[in-house]
Amino acid sequence: MASSIDLSAVNFDTTSFPALKNDLYLRAARGEEAERAPVWCMRQAGRYLPEFRAIRVENEFFKVCRAPALATEVTLQPLRRYAGLLDAAIIFSDILVIPQAMGLEVQMVPGKGPHFPDPLRTPDDLLRLVDRNSGFSVDTELDYVYKALTNTRHALDGQVPLLGFVGAPWTLMAYMIEGGGSKTLALAKTWLFAHRTAAHDLLARVADVAAQFLIGQVRAGAQALQVFESWAGELSPQDFAEFSLPYLALIAERVKAVFPDVPMTVFAKGAHYALEQLATETLFDVISLDWTIDPKAARARVDAALAIRTDVVPRSVVLQGNLDPTILLGDEQTIRERTAEMCQSFGRSGHIANLGHGMMPSHDPERLRVFLETVHKSSAELRR
């Protein structure tokens, strides 16, 4: 399969994209009425798909990210398999392209995941990073992502909107210091409490790159954006308020200053305590929930927070989520029942259906089909 892809057959024209045929996701993300809940899945292009694994046999992970034709092919694979069932495509890339662009080496090790051979260990290591003060250009360093977005937007031919994304500053900082995954994030947290000034310096630099990168993604063809704060739940409420929330707010503010109508989603996994702050102290249109919070409770808390903040411009906040991904390991009847319950919990409006995290390599692709079909059926019945 991989050898049949023509890596030179690409379209980088940003001046004339195909007309959008299915705008359900965009309408819902903006808080508009929708006939059913739009649905897509984090990591919907990935290792659970045999067609993706076939690509990876011949191509290293970051090569797929950097080759626009390959990134486009992988992004489109779930759209082909689940024709008519997905309401958004998300560009195939990785949150760690930002640390790479800032001068750190990142490897994707089979069976292990991301690995930084030479991570940041002390504040002096910040001198190894590059940013725009040292002649660094986000648009130059990450142009391959822009090219993948533009090419994919053409290849989609208006089927569904195309989403871009970045990792949030705290999550990226943790990877840059830990050198990979960690159960405690002890090294990264040491910076927060022993090197506070350096930690804020690093977070601010990453936030600056992330905001510039998202703006560039929209110019390249992204029609909506998501920010992944995957390790938010590793912070206490107090530390989230200092080391995560201000930088999330800054990113949204900078992007919205340029593209006010582009929907933005934040996924602060595990940070249930911050729902009110995310709704009232940032400009994100959508808050994505993991599976450990009741949607009804989340909806009530967000609405109450918005109602009492007279200093905040009136707005709606859409919720996204939140089926436990491991439910897709169950039988079809269980998936149908739990998915229908999820739709019911979110109610008749203000919901984008998704998982509470991403697809897993062990998932059976046909189980995802059951989830998607059930969202279509259940959410449409709920709104009639």
Integer angstrom CA distances of residue 268 from 107, 229, 233, 273, 277 = 25, 5, 7, 10, 11
Q: Is 47 a catalytic residue?
A: yes
Distance CA(160)–CA(330), nearest Å, equals 29
**Residue 255: helix, strand or coil by DSSP?**
helix
Q: Is 285 a catalytic residue?
A: no
Distance CA(197)–CA(82), nearest Å, equals 48
Cis upstream peptide for 322 (omega within 30°): yes
The residues with which 264 forms a beta bridge, in sequence order, are 225
Catalytic residue among 48, 82, 146, 175: 175
Written as six digits, the tokens of 95 are 């949150």
Cα dihedral 97, 102, 107, 111 sign: negative
Distance CA(145)–CA(142), nearest Å, equals 6
The answer to whether 268 touches 357, Cβ cutoff 8 Å, is no
Q: Report long-range pairs for 200-205 (Cβ below 8 Å, ≥24 apart).
A: 200/243, 201/123, 201/126, 202/120, 202/126, 202/129, 202/169, 202/173, 202/176, 203/169, 203/170, 203/173, 203/243, 203/247, 204/169, 204/247, 205/102, 205/129, 205/131
Catalytic residue among 25, 36, 43, 299: 43
Catalytic residue among 56, 205, 254, 299: 56
For residue 111, the one-letter residue type is G
Count how many residues are written for the chain.
384
**Segments in the chain forming alpha helices (H):** 24-29, 50-58, 61-66, 68-81, 97-101, 138-141, 143-156, 169-178, 186-194, 196-220, 237-243, 245-258, 275-280, 295-308, 332-346, 365-383
Q: Is 6 a catalytic residue?
A: no
Cα dihedral 48, 54, 60, 65 sign: negative
Catalytic residue among 47, 81, 309, 383: 47
Catalytic residue among 23, 94, 208, 290: 94
Which pairing describes strands 264-268 and 351-355: parallel, antiparallel, or unpaired?
unpaired
The answer to whether 177 touches 191, Cβ cutoff 8 Å, is yes
What residues are labeled active site? 43, 47, 56, 94, 175
